[in-house]
DNA sequence: CGGCCGATTATCT
DNA sequence: GATAATCGGCCGG
C-alpha cells in the first residue's frame, strides 16, 4: 500500500468558485471504504458563486439544505435532489460567503472494482462515472458526508493533488441543468472539463 | 446515436 | 403543493 497522498491545503478553496473549479481538474478524490481505498481524478466541474448567482442554491439565502455552503472552505456540501440523487460540492470562499464547486465527472485510477461494486446494475457500461449522481453513488457519498472536511488526509473522503492538466486540454462552457436561471447566469461559462479525447493522455501521467 | 419521459422525495414557498 | 445543479430506459432514425 502506497502512503496516502497529502491533502490539498485549505487555501486552495479560499478563492471564488469560478477560480477554483478549473484548478480542481486533474486533482484526485481519495475515498476509503471498509474494504479498501479508491482514488479518482476529477474531470469535470461547475462553479456556483454567491447569492447573486441565480443558478446557485444560495440565491435565496441561508436554508437548512444549503447551510454547508455558508460554512468554511474546503468542506463538502452534499445535497439530495430529484428524489433520488446525491451531489458532491466543495465549499469555496471565506466562511459565511456561499460558493461551491460541483464535481460532475471523475475517472478511476485505483480501486475501480470497489466503485463498480456500488453500481451493480451498470458496471458493464462505459460511461459509468461521468455524471454528478453517478460518481456519488460509486463513491458511496450521501448526507453522511455533508459538511465533512476534505482537507484532512485522515478522513475517509478528502482531496489531493493529482496531475497537471494542459490548458489546451480544458474545455469550458455554460452550466447544465439550470434552465430555470435567468440571464446572464444561465449562460455564464462556469463549467470546465478535460476534453474526453485528451483524457487518456492526461491520465497516463499519473 | 439522440431526444423524450417517468421515477421519487427532501426541502422550500 | 411545487420543484429539482439527474439518470436510465425506450423509442425512432
Collapsed DSSP state (helix, strand, coil) of residue A132: helix
Nine-digit cell at A83?
428524489
CB of A101 within 8 A of CB of A15?
A: no
Q: Which nucleotides of C are covered by protein (CB under 7 A)?
A: 3-9
Q: Which nucleotides of B are covered by protein (CB under 7 A)?
A: 7-13
CB of A133 within 8 A of CB of A79?
A: no
List, in order, residues 6 or more apart from A197 with CB less than 8 Å away. Answer: none
Footprint on protein of nucleic strand B, Cβ below 7 A: A 60, 63-66, 80, 82-84, 143
**Tens-digit pLDDT string for chain A (206 aa):** 667 999 999 999 999 999 999 999 999 999 999 999 999 999 999 999 999 999 999 999 999 999 999 999 999 999 999 999 999 999 999 999 999 999 999 999 999 999 999 987 765 677 899 999 999 999 999 999 999 999 999 999 999 999 999 999 999 999 999 999 999 999 999 999 999 888 888 887 66
| Distance between the alpha carbon (CA) of A122 and the C1' atom of B4, Å | 22
Give the nucleotide nearest to A57 (CA→C1'). Answer: C5
| Distance between the alpha carbon (CA) of A167 and the C1' atom of B9, Å | 41
CA A186 to the chain's CA centroid? 20
| Distance between the alpha carbon (CA) of A45 and the C1' atom of C9, Å | 27
User: DSSP assignment, residue A56?
Assistant: S
Stated pTM of the model: 0.96
| Distance between the alpha carbon (CA) of A2 and the C1' atom of B1, Å | 42
Beta partners for residue A88, in sequence order: A78
Vertex A164 angle, CA A113 and A31, to 5°? 30
Torsion of CA A37, A194, A18, A155, to 10 degrees: 0
User: DSSP assignment, residue A19?
Assistant: H
| Distance between the alpha carbon (CA) of A19 and the C1' atom of B7, Å | 36
Amino acid at each position: 500500500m502506497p502512503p496516502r497522498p497529502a491533502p490539498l491545503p485549505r487555501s486552495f478553496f479560499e478563492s471564488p468558485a469560478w477560480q477554483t473549479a478549473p484548478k480542481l481538474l486533474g486533482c484526485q478524490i481519495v475515498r476509503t471504504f471498509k474494504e479498501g481505498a479508491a482514488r479518482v481524478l476529477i474531470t469535470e466541474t461547475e462553479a456556483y458563486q454567491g447569492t447573486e448567482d441565480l443558478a446557485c442554491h444560495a440565491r435565496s439565502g441561508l436554508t437548512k439544505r444549503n447551510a454547508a455552503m455558508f460554512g468554511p472552505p474546503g468542506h463538502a456540501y452534499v445535497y439530495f435532489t430529484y428524489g433520488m440523487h446525491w451531489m458532491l460540492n466543495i465549499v469555496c470562499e471565506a466562511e459565511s460567503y456561499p460558493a461551491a464547486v460541483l464535481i460532475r465527472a471523475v475517472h478511476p485510477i485505483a480501486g475501480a472494482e470497489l466503485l463498480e461494486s456500488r453500481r451493480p446494475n451498470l458496471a458493464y457500461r462505459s460511461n459509468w462515472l461521468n455524471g454528478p449522481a453517478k460518481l456519488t453513488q460509486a463513491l458511496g457519498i450521501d448526507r453522511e458526508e455533508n459538511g465533512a472536511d476534505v482537507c484532512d488526509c485522515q478522513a475517509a473522503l478528502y482531496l489531493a493533488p493529482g496531475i497537471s492538466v494542459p490548458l489546451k486540454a480544458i474545455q469550458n462552457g455554460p452550466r447544465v441543468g439550470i434552465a430555470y436561471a435567468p440571464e446572464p447566469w444561465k449562460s455564464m461559462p462556469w463549467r470546465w472539463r478535460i476534453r474526453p479525447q485528451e483524457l487518456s493522455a492526461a491520465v497516463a501521467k499519473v
